[in-house]
Amino acid sequence: MEKLTHTECTTQLLPIRDAIEVISGKWKLQIIVSISSGNSHFREIERSIPKLSSKVLAKELKDLEANRLVKRTVFESLPVSVEYTLLPHAESLQPVIDSLRHWGTLHRKEIMGA
Amino acid sequence: MEKLTHTECTTQLLPIRDAIEVISGKWKLQIIVSISSGNSHFREIERSIPKLSSKVLAKELKDLEANRLVKRTVFESLPVSVEYTLLPHAESLQPVIDSLRHWGTLHRKEIMGA
């Protein structure tokens, strides 16, 4: 591969930066995995992820909504019930999640000295 | 997929958390891509990545060394020259980088409303 100049590097890296910006941080992918496994209520999602606080979960869910990954539906029942589901766009993240999971396993072996 | 309990979720998510911890932040993957494209000197890497400061680059390179992704070699020439190269472990990140690049492109289209 040729050495990249500043401009070429920017162009090549832009989609990677976009992706990292959306999924980075400790929680977003974990929340997506939790919802995709069937947790749809706030408390269910919260309970499924160790060390995740309500405050942070609320913020992360809003970010995920803004990025069209998660849909929040309010049911006018008594009491009102709120459900979170994944939008189709979140399903396109599956190859990213799979590749991260695979590499994370490799990395643990590498660092632990398997 | 069955709803994940707290423990199952932790087990499933552990490798993903590991991976995200190593590559998250704005810079690490960009530095890896830059080195893989042939930039091996500190200043070359710095110049290839917009808005990356020397101080941050130095810190990130140290993290990447600690995670066995980057190797720092000092040549006893005059003046002393230092080269950064990728270790084989970094090559195993290629599928992650590819999937992020692909998804980042999809995401931009989704948000821009292609």
Residue-wise pLDDT tens digits, B11-24: 777 888 788 888 87
Domain count, chain A: 1
Residue A86: closest CA among A36, A42, A49, A47: A36
Helix (H) or strand (E) holding A31: helix A28-36
| Model ipTM value | 0.81
Distance from CA of A81 to the nearest CA of B (A): 19
A91 domain-assigned: yes
A86 domain-assigned: yes
Interface test with B, best of A3, A7, A20, A51 (most B CBs within 10 A): A20
The predicted pLDDT at position A83 comes to 96
Find chain B residues with C-beta within 8 A of A110's C-beta: 68, 89
B102 domain-assigned: yes
Model confidence band, residue B61 (pLDDT cutoffs 50, 70, 90): very high
B1 domain-assigned: no
CB contact under 8 A, B36 and A1: yes
**Least confident among A11-20, A97-106, B30-39, B70-79:** A11-20
The predicted pLDDT at position B53 comes to 95
User: CA-to-CA distance for A61 and B90, rounded, in angstroms?
Assistant: 32
Distance from CA of A54 to the nearest CA of B (A): 15
B63 domain-assigned: yes
Instruction: Going from the first residue of chain A to its last (114 residues), give the mean pLDDT of each consecutive group of 10, the final group possibly shorter.
Output: 61 80 83 91 91 95 95 92 94 91 91 77
Interface test with A, best of B18, B86, B89 (most A CBs within 10 A): B18
The predicted pLDDT at position B29 comes to 87
Q: How many CB pairs under 8 A join A and B?
A: 182
CATH number for position B92:
1.10.10.10
With tokens 């913020």, the residue in question is: A59
User: CA-to-CA distance for B89 and A95, rounded, in angstroms?
Assistant: 20
A60 domain-assigned: yes
B26 domain-assigned: yes
A12 domain-assigned: no
Distance from CA of A8 to the nearest CA of B (A): 8
User: CA-to-CA distance for A57 and A43, rounded, in angstroms?
Assistant: 10
- Whether the upstream peptide bond of residue A15 has omega within 30° of 0, thus cis, is no
Q: No. of H helices and E strands in chain A?
A: 6, 2
Supply the range of the domain harboring residue B74: 6-112
